Structure 1
């Protein structure tokens, strides 16, 4: 548990440079956490959507390219990766961030949200 907290802290610290924060769930909980059914990467436009476990857009296809986000995903407050073994590479105007399986991402206050997604056939993107 201590290692998990240390790794999570390092990810959050690194992510703050992109204006993001990440949290994790256990692999068993990854299938349905936050209303996001397996095998999807779900986007939540507002804090109220996140709190209600009501996603506003979801992606599930592994691709070799970035997909531009729909209006339901663009500017999302939260993103959750319910996949068990595939990472979701989130694209930002300032770079990319790998959202690992079972992890969630939150936009930092005042930061721009993701502009694209590429679901990878690798847990570490």
Structure 2
């Protein structure tokens, strides 16, 4: 049994090397992180989490959050309101994700969702 596993491991390494891939860089999606409950996560263009928020009420976002390209609301029942530098406010519903066109300067996580 051990020899079979060792052979499979060596074979996979050989295939990856032959194709110019490695196990760590096989695909950009493999590096993406999933936003855990009960957070609202801000992610870069590769969907890696930059910052996470879970407290209710208005909060000023960090400089790192303002560079985010995606937002995900992993909360089950709560909405979050995103305020942009322009003053425009957008809502993200539970379980929703979307791309960001501009920097979010503050976030308001509410209990429940209208």
Q: State whether TM-score is above 0.5.
A: yes
Please indicate the TM-score interval, normalised by the length of the shorter structure. Answer: 0.5 to 0.7
- Size of the aligned set, in residue pairs, is 81
Among 93, 100, 106, the alignment partner of 2:93 is 100
Given that 2:45 and 2:68 are in contact with CA atoms closer than 8 Å, whether structure 1 keeps it comes out as no
Residues in 1 aligned to 2:51 and 2:98: alpha-carbon distance in whole angstroms? 15
Residues in 2 aligned to 1:113 and 1:104: alpha-carbon distance in whole angstroms? 16
Unaligned runs of 5+ in 1: 1-33
TM-score (norm 2): 0.65
Give the deviation of 1:96 after TM superposition.
0.3
TM-score (norm 1): 0.60
Larger Rg computed on CA atoms: 2
Residues in 2 aligned to 1:83 and 1:121: alpha-carbon distance in whole angstroms? 10
Runs of 4 or more, structure 1, over 3 Å off, are none
Q: Which has the higher contact order (CA 8 A, sep 6+)?
A: 1
Question: What is the RMSD of the two structures over their aligned residues, measured on CA atoms?
Answer: 1.4
